[in-house]
Structures are given as C-alpha cells and as structure tokens.
Homo-oligomer: A and B are copies of this chain.
Amino acid sequence: IGEDDADGVLDLVEDLKPADVADLIEQLGEEDTKSFIRLVGAELPAGALAELEDGARDTVIDALTTEQLAEAVTELDTDEAAFVLEDMTQEDRDEVLAEMPIADRLAVRAALEYGEETAGRIMQRDVFAAPGYWNVGQIIDRLRSAERLPETFYDVYVVDPTYKIIGLVPLSRFVKAKRDTKIENLIEDEPVIIDAGMDQEEVAYLFEKYNLISAPVIDEGRRLVGMITVDDVVEIVHSEADEDMLALAGINDDNSINVPIRKVARSRFVWLLVNLGTAILASVVIGIFDGTIEQMVALAILMPIVASMGGNAGTQTMTVAVRNLSTRTLTAATAVRAVYKETAVSALNGVAFAVLMGAAAALWYLLLAGQSAADAWALGGVLAAAMIINMLCAGLAGILIPLALDRAGQDPAVSSAVFVTTVTDIVGFSAFLGLAAVFLVG
C-alpha cells in the first residue's frame, strides 16, 4: 500500500473472502485505510462493508464516493444494507439511496422504518414460501425454475392464501420426502415465529434457547414479511455479551482501535466523573473521623483493606447477578433463593476473611509495632467486625441492586457498579472508623 501498488493490492483483495478484507482494513490506521480505498475503489467487496467494525466502517464510507457506496449497498442483503446506512446522517443516506435501483431502495427504506435493534431491522425480506396444498414435487419444480429466490434459506415456509404463516419445513426434511407428499403434512409442530417489532435481544434469546437456524418474521397482521437467520444472531449474542462486560467497566460506547482518541476519552470521562463523585463521598465519610485517625494512624493504613475486600466481594456477586439476569436464570421465581444464597456466601467468606485478617493485623501490631497485647487484639477485633459487616453488605448490595434496577426497567449492567462501589466504600470506611472511634480511641 505504501508504494501505491494498485495491481498487487487488487489481486490480494480478489483472493480474500469479504470477512478477511474487513479484518485487513481494521488492522490499518486511518490514513492507510483511505489510501487502500482509493486503490481498491469499486473492487471493494460489498460484504466487507457489512463485516467492518463501526469505527473502521465510518472511515471507509467517508473514503468511498456516493456512487461506489450505492453500488456496494445494492449488492448487500436488505438487512446488511440497512445496517451500513443506519449510522449515516439523513442527508448522506438519501444521496446514497437516490443512486440505488428503485426495488432495492424501497426495500432498504422499508427496513429502516423498523426501529433500531428490532427483528424488522435485522430480518432479510426475500423468503421462499409455498401454499400448504402444494406437494413436494410442485415445490421442487418451482424452485428449479423461479427467478427471484433468496440465495440461501434453510426452511420452506408454508403459508395460507392470505400469506399468513401456517408452519415451516426444514430443507433436510423436505429433501427426504417423496414427490407426492403434501407440504402441509411435513410441518413441524409449533414453529417459533418472530414479531417484526421484537427486540433483537429477545430474538437472540429465542434462537439460543430453541437452537434455531432460521425463523419466519410476521407483521401485526400475522403475515409473513421476512426471515431471520442464525448468522445475524451470533453477532447479536456476541455484542450483547460484550456490551454487558463493557458496561460493567463503565464503557457505553464503541471503544475499538479504530475510534478516534478524543471520542474514546470523552466516552470514558462520564463514568470517571460519576466515580469521582463516589470517591469524594467516601472521602467525606473518612473526613468525619479525622480526629480518630489523628489519634491512631494505623486506622488510615488498614482502612483500604476493608473497603477493597468489600468492593471485590460486591463485584463478584454483582457480576454473577448481571449475567444470570441476562441469561434469565435469575427471575422472579428464583430471586428469593438467589438473595438467600448470596447472603450465605458473603457471610461465609466474610467470617473467613475477618478471622484471617483480624488475626494478621493483631499480630502485626503486637510483634512489629510493639503495641500492648490488649490494644493489638482490640484493633484486630474492630477490623474483623468491620470486614464481616462490609462483606455482608457487599453481598446484599451485589444482588439487590441489579435486581432492583432490572425490576425498574433499567439495564443492570450499566449502573450497578457505581451503586455497589458506593455502598461498599461508605459502609467499609464508616464501619471500620466508627467502631474504632467507639472501642479504640478516646
């Protein structure tokens, strides 16, 4: 690329699958991507556009001319085309659409009418459907002669005269059937059918639960309007799980390598600011006990241990809770059992670490700092009591906060961590310093 070897680059691109071209582009920096697109131009495989990450795709879209982009989008399936166009400004998008053939333009426009992250947006509109009274032979003859068929499909959809779906027949069952078998006699019982307005996370859940490969999509009138295939769903499963993981760390936006530095810094700033609020709150709590610390500096040395252990125990419980909520094993029916269980786990580990750390602190101050035995054991006792209190509160906060956020219709992955940390910091510092003020000082 550095040497503008256009032929060499073109040969390379032709040999690769679209997904590999996308990978290649993602490895390039912004400038190299632009040079690459200038060299490749219209030869860029349309499929690569759909496979790119958001950041890299923005760069590629900017580098392509409107005509090149329109041509590429026309080659894509409707759902992929909508996916590529959805993040563009209204104006740019209209320019591209205007360059597309009318049939594709209408299909993409229709797809864009459905809300983002709904089944209607991710479905493809070309489906193969047959009336229930046809037999296998008729359908095969039709498949062999028909012009406009979806390139790939996995089931024959069976519809009634008003195009309402009656059922579906997997192709592997279809090819095993005799020519004179009526298609409606091959139907599987109770197919899973998707509403066009269904959230894509719900769609992914159904696919995963029932091991689906493809599912028909219907509109409000229960008429067949498209199909969703599992390859789209794999990406959703992956990105939803990634979203949960990133959200727990306070990242709510695409932070991949191809997003500009300033955008990444800004997206992380908000979370750090919220966390600063939490940290200041913890400092205020410590500030209340400044007189106590002044009399006994050992408290300042030990207090981070109490807060940190509570924070980690809370994070463990919270992460499990968020994950079990998203896989739906934590439900209204199991909530009480889960709360009981997490409380028991926190209590067990709380006592274990209280004994461990209480004894360690007492011995440290007895042997190394040369305190009197009574003072050292009193300090160990206060530390142990504070740890039990904080780890128990951590466990409760770790399960109750995600549950409450979920019940309130919020995404527990996004804001649980702040609340849990606030609880464990404040309880940790105030329990330890408060007990110390009463039992050790003055």
Interface residues, chain A, CB within 8 Å of chain B? 17, 19, 23, 26-27, 29, 51, 53, 140, 143-144, 149-154, 170-178, 190, 207-213, 229-231, 233-235, 237-238, 241-242, 244-246, 248-251, 255-257, 261-262, 264-265, 268-269, 271-272, 275-276, 278-280, 282-283, 286-287, 290, 293-294, 297-298, 300-305, 307-309, 312-313, 315-316, 318-320, 323-324, 327-331, 333-334, 337-338, 341, 344-345, 348-349, 352-353, 356-357, 360, 425, 429
Contacts and interface: CB of A to CB of B under 8 A. Distances in A.
B349 A268 contact: yes
Contacts of A356: 276
Nearest to A262: B348
A308 B278 CA distance: 9
Copies, count: 2
A208 B230 contact: no
A152 B345 CA distance: 44
Nearest to A264: B345
26 contacts: A27-B334, A144-B176, A144-B178, A154-B213, A211-B231, A211-B234, A213-B213, A213-B229, A234-B234, A234-B237, A241-B241, A245-B248, A248-B249, A251-B316, A251-B320, A257-B324, A257-B334, A261-B345, A262-B348, A265-B345, A269-B352, A283-B302, A283-B304, A286-B301, A290-B298, A300-B300
Nearest to A278: B308
Nearest to A181: B144
B245 A241 contact: yes
A287 to B, nearest CB: 5
Given A213-B230, A245-B245, A276-B356, A312 B176 contact: no
A315 to B, nearest CB: 5
10 interchain residue pairs of minimum CB distance = A241-B241, A249-B319, A211-B231, A300-B300, A171-B171, A245-B245, A265-B348, A279-B308, A279-B305, A27-B333
Contact of A345 (B153, B268, B338): B268
A388 to B, nearest CB: 13
A177 B305 CA distance: 71
A25 B67 CA distance: 56
Nearest to A288: B301
A249 B309 contact: no
A324 B259 CA distance: 13
A263 B348 CA distance: 11
Nearest to A149: B176
Nearest to A204: B234
A257 B317 CA distance: 12
A364 B122 CA distance: 53
A145 to B, nearest CB: 9
Contacts of A140: 175
A248 B320 CA distance: 11
Nearest to A248: B245
Contacts of A303: 300
Q: Which of A19, A319, A360 has the most CB of B within 10 A?
A: A319
Nearest to A259: B341
Contacts of A248: 245, 249, 319
Contacts of A280: 305, 360
Contacts of A316: 249-251, 268, 271-272
Given A279-B304, A279-B305, A300-B300, 12 more contacts: A26-B329, A140-B175, A154-B213, A171-B171, A208-B238, A248-B319, A257-B334, A262-B348, A268-B316, A272-B313, A276-B357, A283-B304
A7 to B, nearest CB: 22
Contacts of A341: 257, 261, 264
A58 B349 CA distance: 25
Contacts of A349: 265, 268-269, 272
A234 B280 CA distance: 43
Contacts of A19: 209-211
Contacts of A269: 349, 352
Given A268-B313, A349-B265, A308 B175 contact: no
